[in-house]
Amino acid sequence: MPDSPKREYFGTDGVRGPYGGPVVNADFFARLGAAAARWLAARGVRSGSVLIGRDTRSSGADLVRALGAGLCDGGAVAISAGIVPTPAVSRAVVLKGAALGAVVTASHNPSTDNGVKFFGPDGAKLTDADEAAIEALMAPADPGRVPPPPDGEEMPGESILESYVQAALRILPPDSLRGWTIALDTANGATCNSSAAALYFLGARLSCLGDAPDGSNINRGVGSEHPEALGALVVSSRSRLGVAHDGDGDRCVLCDETGSVLDGDEVLAILATHALARGTLAARTLVVTVQSNLGVDVAVASAGGRVIRTPVGDRYVAERMRREGASLGGESSGHIVCFDLGPTGDGLAAALKVIAVMLETGRPLSDLRKVLRKYPQLAASLTVREKKPVEGLPTLRAAIAALEGKLGESGRVLVRYSGTEPKLRFLVEGPTHAAVRSGIDSLVAAAKADLEAK
């Protein structure tokens, strides 16, 4: 993939940071909204509608108002969708014929963070080039000058949640989950109403966790980043499976009936191999990121398919899926993209797709997951003050080269900066847990030596 255009504010998944910080505040969001409107106008779209959703963070209402005011100041029409999952906005942009969609969210980050991600008229996330072009149109900072809504009126609203739930319900036959108990963790986030409603309509009995948002408890000890409590709930409630989302609902992490956690790689392996067996996996191709376990490649190849890898980020997965004519892709973090349902990660759709496999095969999740035999893998991260280029860290570069030489074709090494947090991330796969642990320790020590050097 060619180098991405340089962007100052946009990262792997939109703009994100601490609320009240230099980029996540009302002034910045107003300027960003105005720039997005100017970008639309430059593309020949004037007075286009922009659908804005958000998650449950208390800071979201302020940022939606500011973003909407900026959009209107730039000539667009801002429409509030309220608290809705990210994939609901992606879908509604297409159905409503909107010029853009925006979701004010910091996804799986803590409640003190917030951010925004944009979707084009096709429901897909904007490209790096699009984001760079919007940044180039931003006016200078003017603290305290957030333009008011036109004529002092409140932003008009649009209800999109019901149609999103109805679309999800079409994945399974009516009442197909009658007699099932499912543990559901909605991370005190945007899916509290939608995922529960869909599963109830299908006949399931629910044991719920993370379903009482108060504006400050999103992702706190619950959700896809913290599935331990969900695993315990699965066991205590005797559920068939557990489903966990992140704060904005574009991720899916599962627990089998024993309470053991399945990550996105396992979900993708189940869906891909099942589709290959039925002859329904488009281009016989699964698209994943560089972070997915090597075992995914082995499982898919054994079933007669192929795996293609992209940089980290579900939008890069979706972009590659379009180029390859693929229908399924995603990330180990739980972003699962099913093009027959939408062009972005959808936690509810992914969960229902896996349940469909369970219903069709009659096999429990603990058995289905055996299709993926993971290579030993460890990940670590190091908080940094400055994201110095890895190429300029000589001790770390030497450690990477030595480890890659040692592992050969029996493993791999990935070192990258987070696109959403001030962290240097490490991932090592290898033939044994001991080799992986030793490799991770050597990389972290080398990075510390470089970053702490005067």
Q: Which amino acids are annotated catalytic?
A: 107
Under 8 Å between Cβ of 424 and 449: no
3-state secondary structure of 423: strand
Under 8 Å between Cβ of 68 and 80: yes
Helix axes 60-73, 26-42, angle to 10 degrees: 40
Q: Angle CA(217)–CA(226)–CA(295) in degrees, nearest 5?
A: 150
> Which residues in 321-396 belong to E strands, given as ranges?
328-330, 336-338, 377-383
Q: Is the dihedral of CA 42, 46, 48, 50 positive or negative?
A: positive
DSSP 154: P
Cβ-proximal residues to 126 (8 Å cutoff; 6+ apart), any chain: 118, 119, 120, 134, 315
Query: What phi, psi does 242 have (nearest 5°)?
Result: -120, 145
Under 8 Å between Cβ of 109 and 216: no
- CA Rg, the chain, in Å? 22
Under 8 Å between Cβ of 300 and 276: yes
> How many C-beta atoms surround the C-beta of residue 136 within 10 A?
13
Cβ-proximal residues to 413 (8 Å cutoff; 6+ apart), any chain: 400, 403, 404, 407, 427, 428, 439, 443
Q: Report the alpha-carbon distance of residue 333 to residue 425 in Å, rounded.
A: 14
> How many C-beta atoms surround the C-beta of residue 122 within 10 A?
11
DSSP 229: H
**Strand pairing class (241-244; 181-185):** parallel
As beta bridge partners, residue 242 has: 183, 255
> How many C-beta atoms surround the C-beta of residue 259 within 10 A?
20
